[in-house]
């Protein structure tokens, strides 16, 4: 073995003066700046680059790693100072709920710093699957668990999933803001969305589009693991109904309004919280000729708006300390205020007490 | 030869290790095939209707009244997007590979190679995002189409994703042609273009074909970008401006929701097997083509 290989310094073997002399003094500020003070003594043992071979990329990469490392250390320190272990609540599911769930999780960090709530989306089906597989503590869902899923959860976890209503969502029918249509009936929606539905042009609904070449209806929906998809299918087409083929199945609640905002002849459904300046919410009537109801908090609460549904969180049986505290906080005025800000309809104390849903016969 | 015993042993050991590495590829391919097939096997032999699967467009995996698993539209979706992507990416990629390898000044070559490799490193979800936002509105404006999430959008995005692969592997294949070939051709008075066309391309054809195949593989297997860029609609496209849904996007969108071991879940694995078969056939065809070229020349 040569001397070179045994020497820990990269360039030091050939010229000892470079490795241990002035260079180490030049290098150490670089390291100590990025590292936490605790690690500073180590920096003197760090090999320094031979100036002749120094590579700016290498240095940058090293610096980046050290910065990341110090960031991690910093975080651990802070958590350690907070005293006690941090409880992590895993929470995932419905894309309809994910935005407000994230807002809740962030706000709850200030309420109880010892509890960290981790939120992700993926669709109600994904969340419920996570609950069944025990990878989640809370499954967000915008549809009810099926009997089959409850059975699987019981078999896998030994506990009955418990349902908590945390708010309500009015499902709005969106069109582009330049579309002259203002209201639509449930029957017309079934004609547009149903498997054998006869309507595929706006003119069939008596609508004259500003640009006559844009008469074809671009029907958008959600991908089939979305609770919104299931709820809308049942509410519009009945238990046995199927959507027509060829609808654009978008991958998120936000994508729906995003796309409709760009497409003048499109129609779509998603939570009213996802409205943008480029889209318009239609008023909905149960039958053609009935009064058309705009989607709003008040119409959802009094039950006149026909397509609204509860937002649900499922837990394994009766939840334990931190999870119960989190759910209680969500249903407190502070938690519900965040829900309202996100465009959803709150659970009022009165409704919880009577146990009724404010959504009329559509559910 | 006077070799120390531990050197001999060391060489043997290394030989053994690389043999295992080589064999492991075979083991991996077969075990992946086995596990994918096992997940779908129960339904494949019980209740699966191959006729409906391959010939019907009716994809209703979650219907409450009448569940149907017709994948024809999904197959057509994958096929149309891949063919379009290759029609764009192969000439473009091979052209770029020839330019970078043969015609490009040295300094520019280094810059180009770095940039092309950077292009290959862009995550597919970012490509999908570009498809969903920029390309979507661009297609609406340029083609006056009602919607920009179409075969064209997916094909263009996939082409942009496959080009870097075709360029870097194609360039390597051209570089691997010995310089003596170039010198001999030049000495015979061939122009630069004649050298490329008559000498380099035939000499590098296997490598170039491999480059194209890896590009096709990327296009067939790509999920996230096509999921976002093609509109995700179950229908057989009548034109480039129709939205489609691909096999891969269907698996990605639905596997998370399907209850484990349900029929729906198993059908998604059968789609996986179908994808496997498609890539296998493409590779086999390419192999046969290469052998055919070899025999005829």
Burial B60-89 (b: 16+ CB within 10 A, else e): bbbbeeeeebbbbbbbbbbbbbbebbbebb
Find the range with the poorest average confidence among A53-57, A234-238, B103-107, B229-233.
A53-57
Residue in A126, A152, A240 closest to B256 by CB: A126
Instruction: Give residue A59's pLDDT.
Output: 57
Which residues from B are below 8 Å from A218, CB to CB? 146-147
* Contact check, Cβ <8 Å, A224/B254: yes
ipTM score? 0.72
* Contact check, Cβ <8 Å, B233/A123: no
All residues at 6 or more sequence positions from B54 whose CB lies less than 8 Å from its CB, including other chains: B71, B72, B75
* Contact check, Cβ <8 Å, A251/B228: yes
Instruction: Give residue A14's pLDDT.
Output: 39
Q: Is B128 on the interface with A (CB under 8 A)?
A: no
User: CA A344, CA A78: separation in Å to the nearest integer?
Assistant: 35
Q: Is B80 on the interface with A (CB under 8 A)?
A: no
Q: Is B73 on the interface with A (CB under 8 A)?
A: yes
* Radius of gyration, CA atoms only, chain B: 23
Residue B231 DSSP label: B
User: CA B88, CA B96: separation in Å to the nearest integer?
Assistant: 12
Q: Is B64 on the interface with A (CB under 8 A)?
A: yes
Q: How confident is the model at residue A49 (pLDDT cuts 50, 70, 90)?
A: very low
The mean pLDDT values, 10 residues at a time, for chain B of 297 residues are 80 93 92 90 88 90 86 93 95 94 90 91 90 88 85 94 92 92 93 91 89 88 87 88 91 80 89 91 82 70
The two three-digit tokens of residue A326, written as one number: 């989190």
Mutation target for A interface from B61, B68, B146: give the one with most A CBs within 10 A: B146
pLDDT exceeds 60 at position A317 = yes
Tell me the per-residue pLDDT of A174-228, one tens digit each, with 9 for 90 and over: 999 999 999 999 999 999 999 888 998 999 998 888 888 888 899 999 887 777 8
* Contact check, Cβ <8 Å, A225/B245: no
Instruction: Give residue A34's pLDDT.
Output: 39
All residues at 6 or more sequence positions from B153 whose CB lies less than 8 Å from its CB, including other chains: B131, B135, B136, B139, B229, B230, B231
Instruction: Give residue A321's pLDDT.
Output: 85
pTM above 0.80, yes or no: no
Q: Is the dihedral of CA B177, B179, B181, B186 positive or negative?
A: positive
pLDDT exceeds 50 at position A73 = no
Q: What are the Cα distances from residue A317, in Å, to A115, A294, B203?
A: 20, 37, 69
CB A345 within 8 A of CB A169: yes
Instruction: Give residue B282's pLDDT.
Output: 85
Give CA angle at B239 (B237, B244), nearest 5°.
Answer: 30
The three-state (H, E, C) secondary structure of A188-230, written as one string:
HHHHHHECCCCCCEHHHHCCCCCCHHHCECEEEEECCCCHHHH
Closest CA in chain A for residue B149: A248
Residue in B60, B233, B257 closest to A125 by CB: B257
Which residues from A are below 8 Å from B148, CB to CB? 262
């Amino acid at each position: 073995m040569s001397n070179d290989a045994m020497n820990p310094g990269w360039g030091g073997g050939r010229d000892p003066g470079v490795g241990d002399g002035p260079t180490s003094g030049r290098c150490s500020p670089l390291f100590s700046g990025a590292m936490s003070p605790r690690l500073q003594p180590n920096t003197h043992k760090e090999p320094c680059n031979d100036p002749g071979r120094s590579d700016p990329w290498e240095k940058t990469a090293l610096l980046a790693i050290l910065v990341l490392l110090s960031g991690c250390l910093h975080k651990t320190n802070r958590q350690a100072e907070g005293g006690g272990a941090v409880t992590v609540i895993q929470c995932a599911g419905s894309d309809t709920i994910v935005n407000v769930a994230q807002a809740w999780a962030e706000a709850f960090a200030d309420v109880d710093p010892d509890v960290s709530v981790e939120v992700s989306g993926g669709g109600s089906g994904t969340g419920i699957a996570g609950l069944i597989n025990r990878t989640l503590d809370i499954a967000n869902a915008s549809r009810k668990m099926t009997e089959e899923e409850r059975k699987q959860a019981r078999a896998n976890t030994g506990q009955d999933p418990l349902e908590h209503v945390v708010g309500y969502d009015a499902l709005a029918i969106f069109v582009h803001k330049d579309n002259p249509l203002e209201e639509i009936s449930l029957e017309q929606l079934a004609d547009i969305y149903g498997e054998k539905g006869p309507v595929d042009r706006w003119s069939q609904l008596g609508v004259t589009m500003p640009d006559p070449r844009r008469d074809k209806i671009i029907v958008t929906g959600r991908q089939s693991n979305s609770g919104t998809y299931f709820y809308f299918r049942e509410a519009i087409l009945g238990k046995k109904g199927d959507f027509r083929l060829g609808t654009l199945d978008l991958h998120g609640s936000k994508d729906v309004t995003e796309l409709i905002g760009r497409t003048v002849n499109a129609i779509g459904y998603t939570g009213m919280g996802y409205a943008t300046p480029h889209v318009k919410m239609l008023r909905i009537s149960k039958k053609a000729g009935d009064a058309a109801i705009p989607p709003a908090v008040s119409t959802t609460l009094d039950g006149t708006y026909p397509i609204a549904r509860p937002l649900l969180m499922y837990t394994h049986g009766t939840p334990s300390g931190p999870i119960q505290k989190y759910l209680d906080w969500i249903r407190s005025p502070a938690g519900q205020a965040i829900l309202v800000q996100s465009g959803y309809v709150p659970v009022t104390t009165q409704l919880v007490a009577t146990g009724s849903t404010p959504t009329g016969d559509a559910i | 030869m006077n070799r120390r015993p531990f050197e001999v042993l060391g060489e043997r050991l290394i030989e053994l290790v690389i043999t295992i590495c080589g064999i492991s590829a075979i083991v991996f391919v077969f075990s992946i095939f086995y596990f994918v097939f096992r997940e779908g096997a129960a339904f494949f032999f019980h209740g699966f209707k191959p006729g409906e699967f391959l010939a019907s467009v009716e994809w209703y995996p979650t219907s409450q009244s009448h569940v149907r698993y017709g994948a024809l539209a999904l197959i057509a979706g994958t096929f149309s997007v891949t063919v379009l992507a290759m029609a764009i990416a192969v000439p473009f990629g091979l052209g770029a590979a020839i330019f970078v390898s043969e015609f490009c000044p040295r300094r520019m070559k280094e810059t180009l190679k770095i940039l092309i490799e950077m292009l290959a490193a862009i995550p597919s979800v970012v490509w999908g995002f570009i498809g969903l936002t920029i390309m979507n509105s661009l297609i609406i404006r340029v083609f006056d189409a009602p919607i920009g999430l179409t075969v064209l959008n997916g094909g263009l995005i996939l082409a942009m994703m496959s080009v870097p692969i075709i360029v870097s592997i194609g360039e390597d294949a051209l570089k691997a042609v010995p310089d003596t070939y170039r010198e001999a051709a030049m000495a015979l008075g061939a122009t630069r273009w004649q050298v490329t066309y008559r000498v380099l391309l035939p000499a590098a054809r296997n490598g170039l074909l491999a480059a194209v195949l890896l590009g096709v593989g990327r296009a067939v297997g790509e999920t996230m970008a096509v999921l976002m860029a093609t509109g995700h609609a179950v229908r057989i496209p009548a034109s480039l401006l129709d939205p489609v849904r691909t096999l891969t996007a269907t698996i990605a969108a639905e596997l998370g929701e399907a209850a484990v071991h349900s029929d729906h879940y198993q059908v998604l694995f059968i789609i996986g097997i179908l994808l496997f078969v498609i890539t296998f056939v493409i590779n086999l065809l390419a192999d046969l083509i290469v052998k055919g070229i070899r025999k005829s020349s």
